[in-house]
């Protein structure tokens, strides 16, 4: 009987404690203001972006090491290990400066993306809409040229501008003003042609520059099989929202890069579906006609997987 009574009192005590927590939680909610909610949402967004940054780079390993150091600092404090605690605290203080150096490429790309997106969002209101028929024709001509160049192992690199302004990249090449045509692309990328080296930039369905210099990817996880075109395409995609199409000169393989993600060994038809999915307005990408099939890899303007 005594054990039953003690058990009953413990259960009642647990229920009372839980009830008290609920009452306190409701009280805290009543004290919250709109600024508190905005503060929480902003912090959540920043944490989400940081986690995404860690997952896309080598920062995940560094983050785990930092977590271990924080745990070690807490344990040394709890067990009164004063010497170790002092050394670890100093290491953490110096580590804040070291983090800026370690993550300098990632921080620079993050700030560049924020700045370019803000400018693009503002300038969007002053831009003329691109005729969809011109984009569709540019995509068809690109796919036709890439099919031929892939068969003949002619290297090619094309950048399709979206929201991020690529004027700095365009200024590094030879100015061009022409519609996209299969024959013109094959002439530009023909081996030993004057504009063979570098990238062709397409803006609003028109070729605006050729032989452009692209920033190289600084990722250390790239396959050794990838050549300079693939590294340049990845570097361009990491710093902008542009869509990049590549033909390997060594193998003739067709690749596409979107949002820093590289997809290799594509058929011309698959390249066409990717370009339509990423460049055309959503209402023009009709899955019933096959444009939206086989694109689970991508998260573009054509829809999420």
CA–CA distance from 95 to each of 54, 69, 154 (Å)? 17, 10, 48
Residues 89-113, buried b or exposed e (16+ Cβ, 10 A)?
A: eeeeeebeeeeeeebeebeebeeee
Determine the pLDDT at residue 33. 81
201 pairs with which residues across the strands? Answer: 159, 209
Asked if 279 contacts 180 with a C-beta cutoff of 8 angstroms, the reply is no
For 263, the token pair is 């997809």
Segment 142-158, tens digit of pLDDT: 999 999 999 999 999 99
pLDDT along the chain (305 residues), means of 10: 54 72 77 81 81 60 76 87 86 74 66 57 49 88 97 96 91 93 96 92 95 87 86 91 95 94 94 94 56 40 36
Structural domains in the chain plus CATH codes: 2-122 (no CATH), 132-289 (3.40.1700.10)
Q: How far apart are CA 142 and CA 185, in angstroms?
A: 8
Please write the tens of the pLDDT for every residue from 33-92.
Answer: 888 788 888 888 887 777 666 665 555 666 677 788 888 888 888 888 888 888 888 877
Tokens of 281: 């307005």
Q: What is the pLDDT of residue 297?
A: 40
Question: How far apart are alpha carbons 88 and 94 in whole angstroms?
Answer: 10
- How long, in residues, is the chain? 305
Going by C-beta distance under 8 Å and a sequence separation of 6 or more, which residues neighbour residue 212? 159, 169, 170, 172, 173, 198, 199, 200, 201
* Residue in the structure block whose two tokens are 């700030």: 111
Distance CA 241, CA 261 (A): 11
Give pLDDT, residue 295. 43
Q: How many other CB atoms are there within 10 angstroms of residue 297's CB atom? A: 13
- Between strands 199-203 and 174-179, the pairing is unpaired
pLDDT at 26: 76
Spatial separation of the C-alpha atoms in residues 281 and 133, rounded to whole Å: 11
Inter-residue contact 258 to 279 (CB < 8 Å) = no
For position 20, what pLDDT does the model report? 82
Q: What is the pTM of this model?
A: 0.61
Identify the three-state secondary structure at position 73: helix
At 116 the pLDDT is: 56
């Amino acid at each position: 009987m005594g054990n039953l009574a003690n058990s009953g009192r413990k259960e009642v005590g647990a229920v009372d404690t839980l009830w008290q927590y609920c009452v306190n939680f409701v009280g805290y909610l009543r004290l919250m203001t709109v600024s508190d909610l905005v503060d929480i949402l902003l912090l959540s967004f920043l944490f989400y972006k940081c986690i995404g940054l860690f997952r896309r780079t080598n920062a995940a390993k560094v983050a785990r090491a930092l977590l271990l150091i924080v745990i070690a600092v807490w344990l040394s404090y709890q067990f009164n290990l004063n010497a170790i605690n002092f050394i670890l605290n100093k290491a953490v203080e110096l580590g804040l400066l070291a983090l800026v150096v370690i993550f300098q490429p990632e921080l620079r790309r993050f700030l560049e993306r924020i700045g370019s997106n803000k400018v693009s969002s503002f300038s969007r209101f002053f831009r003329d809409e691109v005729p969809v028929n011109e984009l569709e024709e540019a995509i068809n001509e690109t796919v036709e040229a890439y099919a031929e160049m892939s068969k003949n192992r002619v290297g090619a690199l094309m950048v399709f501008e979206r929201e991020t302004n690529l004027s700095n990249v365009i200024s590094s090449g030879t100015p061009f003003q022409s519609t996209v045509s299969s024959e013109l692309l094959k002439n530009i990328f023909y081996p030993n042609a004057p504009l063979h080296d570098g990238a062709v930039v397409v803006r609003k369905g028109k070729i605006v520059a050729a032989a452009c210099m692209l920033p190289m990817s600084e990722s250390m996880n790239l396959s050794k099989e990838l050549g300079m075109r693939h590294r340049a395409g990845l570097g361009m995609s990491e710093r902008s929202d542009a869509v990049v199409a590549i033909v390997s000169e060594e193998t003739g393989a067709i690749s596409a890069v979107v949002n820093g993600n590289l997809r290799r060994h594509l058929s011309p038809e698959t390249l066409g579906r990717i370009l339509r999915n990423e460049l055309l307005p959503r209402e023009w990408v009709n899955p019933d006609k096959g444009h939206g099939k086989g694109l689970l890899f991508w998260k573009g303007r054509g829809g999420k997987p």
